[in-house]
């Protein structure tokens, strides 16, 4: 054994020793680095908590088992909903499906959705809210519809004995006149078409030659209304000064000033047959004013012979029944009234409009009355039964004037929407809309004897004559410097009167 053999184990042992020392040193350094890193991380966490970047306010945790359980419950509920959906019967009619969606408050259709998709969507909604929800919604809808229909129904109240007597009298009065009108219409149909065409052409020629025959300053305030007497010998005018005046025709000389109103007079009208038959002391005119007063006049006195009391609001128009026994008044309390002068009382106080009633006109037979007002609707009432027989819906704004044609089945209405509508009462529809003026229409009048032309007046300072039928413009009556507030045609059909805001009235005559 050599010396090298003795040294070798010692070297190995020293190497092992030194190796273990190196490992220990490395482990010590690693521990120190780990402690320093942990300290650094701890310092970083503390700094983050102090800065508010790390939230440690809640220590709530959610167990994985709970999360899995919730997902399982949701899946089970979805499977159950689909099972209920498959059992729900849904109509295959697309219209019924849309109605069902609408009743449930859902959109009736989505973008790109077809009938099948819409049906499945309704099925899905019903699987959530239950199939009875649709039945309940439909019941509620039907109940609301019935309630609305009940609200729209006209309520009738028991009338007085005088009203019953008046309605019987009106029936006996109107039926013979209707028969006579129909006989005249049948006789007119027997006239050859060529003869009727020639007559119409001659009339149109005369109307195209209308010229201003007379112009008269009627008052110091605007003249709101004008009306010819039944014999065409006088013209009555009403003014905002509160005065009504009678003028001779055609020389336009003042006959009498009727003093009684204290505010704007809305209308003054002659009683049928006034000045033709009866005594001068009989009631011959009626007038109304903005303070709700209605006064009756005769042809002898400047003072009213009677006052009609009972209106609490503005009375816009008055009109005589063709018999002369009844007087109709319109009021801004949303009603119109019928007064029986024989018994000297109000026999009918009729509601039905939602706003003030402005104008009314009686049918030539005396069986009907038409009313129009600020609610833009017109109504035709049967005086013999009290029912609204025709509802006139079509104007966009207030109706300020109405007038029946002598033929008995045409009715003209003038409105603030600048149009005049002619209504066919036989089929209860609008026959024609005349784009008449550039401003609101204040008055419309048919020719009183045969209705071959229609006269309109408006706030564009003009009055116009239109053919009937055909509704072509025949003549524009221009000359007023202010709004045309009233128009009328003499009973003999020879003269036309217009009154205006410029305080004048004019007579127009065909040369």
Same domain for 310 and 213, yes or no, is: yes
**pLDDT above 90: residue 132:** no
In a domain, 41, yes or no: no
The reported pLDDT for the residue numbered 374 is 92
Is 437:416 a contact under the CB 8 Å cutoff? no
Task: State pLDDT tens for residues 268-292.
Answer: 999 998 877 777 778 889 999 999 9
Residue found by looking up tokens 């070798």 in the block: 8
pLDDT at 16: 46
Is the same domain home to 246 and 310? Answer: yes
User: What is the pLDDT at residue 458?
Assistant: 92
Residue 359, pLDDT > 90, answer yes
The per-residue pLDDT for range 140-174, each reduced to its tens digit, is 666 766 666 655 555 556 778 888 899 999 999 99
CATH of the domain at 349: 2.130.10.10
Same domain, 190 and 335: yes
Longest dimension (CA), the chain: 179
Do 300 and 372 sit in the same domain of this protein? yes
| Mean pLDDT value of segment 36-63 | 61
> Which pLDDT score, from 0 to 100, does residue 196 have?
82
Same domain membership, residue 95 and residue 167 = no
Q: Which residues of 177-186 are buried (b: 16+ CB within 10 A; e: fewer)?
A: beeebeeeee
Mean pLDDT of 432-443: 90
* Residue 4: inside a domain: no
Whether the CB-CB separation of 358 and 145 falls below 8 Å is answered with no
Query: Domain boundary residue among 94, 120, 136?
Result: 136
- What is the residue-averaged pLDDT of the chain? 83
pLDDT at 464: 92
Does the pLDDT at position 17 exceed 50? Answer: no
What is the full DSSP assignment across 4-28? HHHHHHHHHHHHHHHHHHHHHHHHH
The pLDDT value recorded for residue 288 is 93
Percent of the chain with pLDDT over 90: 40
Phi-psi region of 418 (alpha: psi -120 to 50; beta: other; left: phi over 0): left
Does the residue 94 lie in any domain? yes
Q: Long-range contacts of range 250-259, CB-CB < 8 Å, 24 or more positions apart?
A: 250/213, 250/214, 250/495, 250/507, 250/509, 251/214, 252/214, 252/216, 252/505, 252/507, 256/299, 256/302, 257/302, 258/285, 258/287, 258/297, 258/302, 258/304, 259/302, 259/303
Predicted confidence (pLDDT) per residue in 24-47, tens digit: 667 676 666 655 555 666 666 677
91 confidence band (pLDDT: 50, 70, 90)? confident
33-37, 61-65, 192-196: range with lowest mean pLDDT: 61-65
Q: What is the pLDDT of residue 337?
A: 93
Q: Which of 19-23, 82-86, 220-224, 402-406 has the least mean pLDDT?
A: 19-23
Kindly state the percentage of the chain with pLDDT values over 70: 81
Q: Give 164 or 76, the one with higher predicted confidence.
A: 164
- Cis peptide bond upstream of 235, omega within 30: no
Alpha helices in 130-229 (DSSP H): 132-152, 161-190, 193-208
Whether residue 372 has pLDDT greater than 70: yes
pLDDT of residue 342 exceeding 70, the answer is yes
Contact 284, 241 (CB under 8 A): no
From 150-164, 288-302, 363-377, the region with the lowest mean pLDDT: 150-164
pLDDT band at 11 (very low <50, low <70, confident <90, very high): very low
Residues 336 and 442 in one domain: yes
pLDDT of 411 reads 93
pLDDT of 236 higher than 90: yes
Q: Which domain holds residue 239?
A: 161-510
Q: What is the pTM of this model?
A: 0.69
Q: What is the structure's pLDDT at 18?
A: 47
Split into its structural domains, the chain has a count of 2
Identify which of 366, 430, 427 has the alpha carbon closest to the alpha carbon of residue 399.
430
Within this chain, do residues 264 and 323 fall inside the same structural domain, yes or no? yes
In what side-by-side order are the strands of the sheet with 223-228? 223-228, 234-239, 243-248, 254-259
More confident residue, 112 or 173: 173
Query: Using CA atoms, how far apart are residues 235 and 490, in angstroms rounded to an integer?
Result: 9
For residue 24, tell me if it sits in a domain. Answer: no
Measured in degrees and rounded to the nearest 5, phi and psi for residue 60 equal -70, 145
Q: Which of 12-21, 86-95, 382-391, 419-428 has the lowest mean pLDDT?
A: 12-21
- Per-residue pLDDT, 501: 93
Does residue 27 lie in a domain region? Answer: no
Answer yes or no: is 180 within a domain.
Answer: yes
Residue 55 has pLDDT above 80, yes or no: no
| 132 and 180 inside one domain | no
Q: Is residue 484 within 8 Å of residue 226, measured between CB atoms? A: no
Nearest by Cα to 118 from 139, 136, 93:
93
Residue 318 sits in the same domain as residue 260: yes
| Higher per-residue confidence, 133 vs 22 | 133
Q: Do 437 and 334 belong to one domain?
A: yes
**pLDDT given for residue 33 in this prediction:** 63
Residue 8 has pLDDT above 60, yes or no: no
User: Rounded mean pLDDT of 217-228?
Assistant: 92
317 lies in some domain? yes
The predicted model gives 450-474 an average pLDDT of 88
Residues 95 and 172 in one domain: no
């Amino acid at each position: 054994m050599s010396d090298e053999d003795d040294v070798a184990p010692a070297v190995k042992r020293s190497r092992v020793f030194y190796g273990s020392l190196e490992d220990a040193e490395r482990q010590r350094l690693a521990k120190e680095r780990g402690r320093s890193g942990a300290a650094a991380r701890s310092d970083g966490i503390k700094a983050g908590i102090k800065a508010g970047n790390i939230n440690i306010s809640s220590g709530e945790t959610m167990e994985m088992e709970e999360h899995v359980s919730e997902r399982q419950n949701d899946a089970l509920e979805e499977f159950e909903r689909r099972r209920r959906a498959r059992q729900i019967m849904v109509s295959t009619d697309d219209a019924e499906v849309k109605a069902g969606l609408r009743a449930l408050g859902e959109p009736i259709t989505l973008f790109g959705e077809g009938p099948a998709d819409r049906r499945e969507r309704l099925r899905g909604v019903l699987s959530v809210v239950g199939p009875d929800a649709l039945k309940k919604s439909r019941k509620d809808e039907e109940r609301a519809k019935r309630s609305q229909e009940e609200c729209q129904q006209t309520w009738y109240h028991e009338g007085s004995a005088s009203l019953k007597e008046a309605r019987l009298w009106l029936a006996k009065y109107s039926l013979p006149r209707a028969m006579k009108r129909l006989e005249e219409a049948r006789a007119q149909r027997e006239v050859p078409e060529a003869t009727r065409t020639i007559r119409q052409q001659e009339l149109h020629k005369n109307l195209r030659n209308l010229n201003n025959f007379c112009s008269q300053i009627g008052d110091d305030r605007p003249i709101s209304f004008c009306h010819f007497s039944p014999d065409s010998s006088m013209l009555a005018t009403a003014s905002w000064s509160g005065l009504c005046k009678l003028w001779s025709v055609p020389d336009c000389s003042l006959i009498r000033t009727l003093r009684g109103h204290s505010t704007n007079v809305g209308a003054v009208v002659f009683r049928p047959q006034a000045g033709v038959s009866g005594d001068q002391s009989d009631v011959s005119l009626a007038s109304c004013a903005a303070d709700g007063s209605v006064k009756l006049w005769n042809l002898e006195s400047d003072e009213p012979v009677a006052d009609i009391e009972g209106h609490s609001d503005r009375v816009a128009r008055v009109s005589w029944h063709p018999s002369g026994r009844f007087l109709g008044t319109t009021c801004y309390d949303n009603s119109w009234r019928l007064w029986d002068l024989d018994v000297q009382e109000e026999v009918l106080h009729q509601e039905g409009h939602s706003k003030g009633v402005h104008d009314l006109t009686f049918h030539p037979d005396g069986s009907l009355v038409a009313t129009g007002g600020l609610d833009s609707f017109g109504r035709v009432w049967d005086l013999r039964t009290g029912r609204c027989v025709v509802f006139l819906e079509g104007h966009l704004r207030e109706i300020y004037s109405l007038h029946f044609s002598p033929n008995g089945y045409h009715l003209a209405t003038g409105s603030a929407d600048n149009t005049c509508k002619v209504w066919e009462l036989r089929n209860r529809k609008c026959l024609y809309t005349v784009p008449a003026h550039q401003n609101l229409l204040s008055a419309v009048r048919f020719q009183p004897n045969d209705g071959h032309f229609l006269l309109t007046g408006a706030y564009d300072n003009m009055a116009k004559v239109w053919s009937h039928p055909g509704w072509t413009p025949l003549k524009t009556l221009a000359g007023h410097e202010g709004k045309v507030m009233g128009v009328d045609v003499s009973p003999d059909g020879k003269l036309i009167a217009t009154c205006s805001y410029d305080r004048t009235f004019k007579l127009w005559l065909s040369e």
